[in-house]
Chains A and B, each alone.
Chain A
Amino acid sequence: EDKVVQSPLSLVVHEGDTVTLNCSYEVTNFRSLLWYKQEKKAPTFLFMLTSSGIEKKSGRLSSILDKKELFSILNITATQTGDSAVYLCAVGGGGSQGNLIFGKGTKLSVKP
């Protein structure tokens, strides 16, 4: 059965800390791995990763994929209270033609 596992499930840090969120997957016919940020609304697209070892970066956020070990990490440096959200990892693949298999998410709380 295809699955996406995120860890930790929740994390509390203080402003300025650096955090690393993990996502491992077992999905047949892997196509892509996506990271989303979800506050009290729709998931907001962050990154899509398809190739191993190529870091994607956007401001204080960065992500990398390891297709050999079947995992990805999302790094957030110099965290701010506005980074508080649930971060969802989703993988495209399996028997589907495009739908995403989501992990349970990591709930990040950044304290002032």
Chain B
Amino acid sequence: AAGVIQSPRHLIKEKRETATLKCYPIPRHDTVYWYQQGPGQDPQFLISFYEKMQSDKGSIPDRFSAQQFSDYHSELNMSSLELGDSALYFCASSLEGSYAYEQYFGPGTRLTVT
């Protein structure tokens, strides 16, 4: 079965650079969620989109922005990167996500900021 696809899988950036992470949800899933997981931490919700509109916002820094496109894929844009942004970034998708239906996670993008 098709799963959530994330790219790139690994990314190394320097401080103050920008990064763009991509997420392709499971086919027919209309909701995408972004989570950040620091070393030894539980995933923290950043932002979500339902039918291309932002549906919820969590602890996403102002330096980050995201959007969902007409094909339902989503991109997380991160600017002015800081060392503390080094983490695993997960994308999850669900169907009719406004009710916290089962969320399926992608493999994650490991971002390292040096």
Contact = CB atoms under 8 A, between A and B. Distances in A.
Contact of A101 (B45, B48, B55, B90): B45
Interface of B is mostly: mixed
Given A97-B98, A100-B45, A45 B105 contact: yes
Interface in B10-43: 31, 33, 41-43
Contact of A98 (B43, B56, B106): B56
A42 B105 contact: yes
Given A96-B56, A97-B56, A102-B42, A34 B103 contact: yes
Contact of B48 (A34, A42, A99, A105): A99
B100 interface: yes
A88 B42 contact: yes
Contacts, number: 74
B74 to A, nearest CB: 14
A99 B34 CA distance: 9
A41 B43 contact: no
Among A41, A96, A99, A100, the most chain B Cβ lie within 10 Å of the Cβ of: A99
A13 B71 CA distance: 46
B100 A98 contact: yes
Interface string B78-114: 0000000000001000100111111111111000000
A100 B90 contact: no
Nearest to B88: A42
25 contacts: A31-B99, A31-B100, A32-B99, A32-B101, A41-B108, A43-B90, A44-B105, A45-B102, A45-B103, A45-B105, A88-B43, A92-B99, A92-B100, A97-B48, A97-B97, A98-B31, A98-B50, A98-B99, A99-B56, A99-B58, A100-B33, A100-B43, A100-B100, A100-B103, A101-B45
Interface of B: 4, 31, 33, 41-45, 48, 50, 55-56, 58, 90, 94, 97-108
Interface of A: 31-32, 34, 36, 41-45, 48, 88, 92-93, 96-105
